[in-house]
Amino acid sequence: MAFLTDHTTKQAYLGKAAHDLVRLTSDQVADIYDRRQIIIPVELSSTLHSLSLKSGSSLTEIASTLGLPHQLVAQRVRKLISLGLLERRPDATDGRRFELHLTDYGHDQADRLRVCMRDMSRVYEGLYEEIGCDLPAILGAAMKAIRDHSLVDRFESRGLL
């Protein structure tokens, strides 16, 4: 990150900074998962958590809940099935639909994940205090602002496009 030394360059590479933060935290959370015998890849955590809250969900329901594309959720579900954490069952009322259910091992992993997320929340609260901001709130506000007024709009309003 040596080239990100001047203020203008640092400001322009917001996406890189966000990506670097995601990569750094994901790598460190993976180590925590390993120490806590949580076998799921970090990026699948929200999918497993969602299914632990609503057994019998379909791919479409999970995608909607998580705000993710259907294809990405399908890939995640296939991985969770291959790890022995989920099983697909035909829907009794709709032959075109499959329900996803946690296996016994999936329930064990979801329980471990739930405890880890509780502890992670406490650790992150300390981090937010240390850096002097509620990072999720700031990220949420930034995403809302960009959704409400896109970067293209912001360029155009400054006569830069």
CA quadruple 16, 77, 82, 28: dihedral sign: positive
| Distance separating alpha carbons of residues 151 and 126, to the nearest angstrom | 32
The rounded Cα 9 to chain-centroid distance in angstroms is: 28
CA–CA separation, 120 and 89 (whole Å): 33
Q: Give the tokens for residue 46.
A: 């929200």
Helix count and strand count (H, E) for the chain: 8, 2
pLDDT digits (tens, 9 = 90+) for 43-57: 999 999 999 999 889
How confident is the model over 80-130, as pLDDT tens digits?
999 999 999 988 887 788 899 999 999 999 999 999 999 999 999 999 999
